[in-house]
Structure 1
Amino acid sequence: MSDLNGLLEDLGPAWSGALVFVVTVLLSLVIHRLLTRGIDGADGQRHTGRQVGRFSSVAVFILGSLWALRVSGLEVGPLLGAMGVGGIAVAFAAQDLLQNFLAGRLIQARRPFKVGDQITSLDYEGTVLDIDLRATRLRTYDGLDVVLPNAEVLRHPIVNHTRTPLRRTTLVVGVAYDTDLALAQRVLIESLAGLDELQDTPTPKAWAQEFGDSAITFAVMF
C-alpha cells in the first residue's frame, strides 16, 4: 500500500486520478466477467451470475470513481452530502426501478421462463433474448425487439410455449353459402392429412361454426 501511495504522489494529482479511474474501469470489467462465469458456470440459461456481476461492477465503478476524484484533489465530501440530500428524491423516483429489480430476481428464482423460451406476456409473443436488472427482452415472431418491465411481466399471466410444445390450433376458414358443407369439411381435413408437422392424435377436425354476413365459417382444429 505504501508503494502505491508513493507512486500516486510521484505522478501528481491529475495523473494519479486518471490512473485510479482506469484501474477502476478495468477492475469492474474483470469482476463482472469472473462473477458471471463463477456463478453461472456451464448453465448459460440462469444468468444469475450476470446480474450479480453487473451489480458488483457498478458498485466497484462508483467507489473507484469517488477515490479517483479524491486522489485528484477534488473535495468528495460536498459531493457525498449533495448525494445524501438528493437521495430521498431519488429513492421516490426509483420505486419502479426497485420493483423491476425485485421482480427480476423472482423471475430468476422461480424460473417461469428462461432465455431462449418462447412465451406470451402482456399481449406480446416471442423468444426471450435477455432478463436483466430492469426488464425482459423479447424478439417477436415478426422481428420486433420488445422490452417488457419485469414487474409487469410478473404481475400478468405468462404462457410458456416451450414447456408445452404440443398445442391445438384453431384456424377459421370462410366458404360461400352455396358450398357443399360436407365436401368443404372433407377437403379441409384432407388438406391437413399430408402435413408432417401435425400430430395424428388428436385427429384434425373441421366444423361449421357460424353463418356470417357473407360466408359460412369453419373452425379447423389441429
Structure 2
Amino acid sequence: MPVADDVVDDVETLSDAFDTDGLDGWTWATAGLVLAIAIAVAIVVRWSLGAVLVRRLERSLAIFLSRTASYVVVLIGVVYALDQLRVRVGPLIGALGIAGIALAFALKDILENFVAGILLQIQRPFTYGHEIEINDQVGRVQDVNARFVTMLTPSGETVMVPSAVVIKSELSNMTVAGRRRTDLEIGVAYGSDLRVSRSVLERAARSVDGVLGDPGAEVLLTGFGDSSIDFVVRYWHGPSIAEFWRVRSDVAFAVESALDEAGITIPFPQRTLWFPDRSPASTDAGENPEEQPEIKPEIKPEIKPEIKPEIKPAE
C-alpha cells in the first residue's frame, strides 16, 4: 500500500538522521550547554530589546518583536544542539511526512491561536491598557501573546480569551476614541412644561463633573408613555469603565435634585380606572338600569318547632 510504504520510508529516513553511534558524555554535555546558552541569550534579548523598542514603537508591537527575536534565538540554539549530536536537520524535516500532517491536525487549535495572535499583533485593533468588549466580556487588556488575550475585568477577575476567538468575534474598543456617550432615560409627569423640563435637565447634566463640554449634553423628547412624558439625556465623558459608572450616577443624582427643586414630578407607573354613573343593579355593560326587573326578596314561612305535651302516669 502507498501509505504503508511512505511510513516505512519515513522511519528509515529518521533512523538515518539520528546517527548517534559513538557519542560520548562530553558530546551530550556540549549539546545541553549550547541549548542552555541559547535559552539564556533569548531571555536577555527579549528583555533588553523590548526595553529599547518600547521607547520608539507602540508597546504591543515592541513586545511582539522582542518575543519573536527570543524565539529565533532558541530555534538557532536547538539547531546547533542537534548538530552537536550529529542529527541532520534536513532529513529530519523531510522525514516528518505523514507524521507531520497528523501532528498538525492534533495541534490545529494551538496553531490557529498562534496565527491569530500574530495577526492581532500586526493589525493591532487594541493595545495594552485599552478597555474592550469581546463576547460580553469587558475588561482592560493586560497582555497579548501568541495564544491568548488577557483582560482584567472591573470586578477584578482575569479573563483569558483565545486569540482565534478574538479574531472571529465582534470587538468593541471603548478607549481608542478617547470619549464615550451615555444615554440616561427619564420621564416627567403629564402637565409639566416640556420646555422648562428640557432646560432643567440640560443644566443638571452639564453641571456634573466629568461631563464633557464639547460635545455638550443634550436632552431629547423621545415619546409619550403610559404614565410619563419621556426624555433621554445624552452626555459625553471619559472612556474608562470606572468613569462611565461614576458619571452616570452623578448625572442621575443631579437630574433628580434639579427636577425636585423646579417642582417637576418624576411619576411612577400608574393607571386611572373610570366607572360610568349607573345604578348598582346594572352589572352588565350596555344595560339600561330602568329595564332591569325588580328583584323581590324571597320570604320563607317561619317554621316553629312542634311542642308535644308531657304525659305523666296516674298515681
Q: How does 1:133-148 map to 2 (within 5 A)?
A: 133-148=146-161
With normalisation by structure 1, the TM-score equals 0.67
Q: Residues 180 and 117 of structure 1: is their aligned pair in 2 closer, same or farther, counting only changes over 3 Å? A: same
Does structure 2 retain, via aligned residues, the 8 Å contact 1:188–1:206? Answer: no
Change (3 A) 1:151 1:55: same
Partner of 1:156: 169
* Residues 32 and 56, structure 1, Cα contact 8 Å, conserved in 2: no
**Over aligned residue pairs, what C-alpha RMSD do you find?**
4.1
Q: Name which of 62, 65, 72 aligns with 1:49.
A: 65
Computing the radius of gyration from Cα coordinates, the structure with the larger value is 2
1:38-63 CA distances to partner (integer Å, 9 max, x unpaired)?
Answer: 76663251233133134324424644
Counterpart of 2:33? 19
Equivalent residue runs for 1:98-113 within 5 Å: 98-113=111-126
In 2: Cα distance, 1:138 partner to 1:123 partner? 12
Read off the aligned partner of 1:135 and give its amino acid letter. F
- How many Å separate the matches in 1 of 2:51 and 2:212? 41
Q: Note closer, same or farther for the CA distance 1:53–1:37 as it changes in structure 2 (3 Å cut).
A: farther
List alignment gaps of at least 5 residues for structure 2. 1-23, 236-315
Report the Cα offset of residue 132 of structure 1. 0.7
> Does residue 92 of the first structure (1) align with residue 105 of the second (2)?
yes
Determine if the alignment matches structure 1 residue 127 to structure 2 residue 140: yes
**Matching of residues 158-197 of structure 1 within 5 Å:** 158-172=171-185, 188-197=201-210
How many residue pairs get matched? 205
Separation (CA, whole Å) in 2 of partners of 1:174 and 1:55: 60
Residue identity in the other structure for 1:150: S
Normalised by the length of structure 2, the TM-score is 0.50
For 1:195, give the aligned amino acid.
V
Question: How far apart, CA to CA, are the structure 1 residues paired with 2:82 and 2:185?
Answer: 64
CA distance in 2, matches of 1:39, 1:63: 27
For residue 172 of structure 2, give the secondary structure of its aligned residue in structure 1: strand
Gaps of 5+ in 1: 1-8
My pick for the range that moved more, 138-147 or 185-194, is 185-194
Shift of 1:143: 2.2
Structure 2 Cα separation of the partners of residues 203 and 159 of structure 1: 23
CA contact (8 A) 1:174 1:215 kept: yes
Identity of aligned residues (%): 25
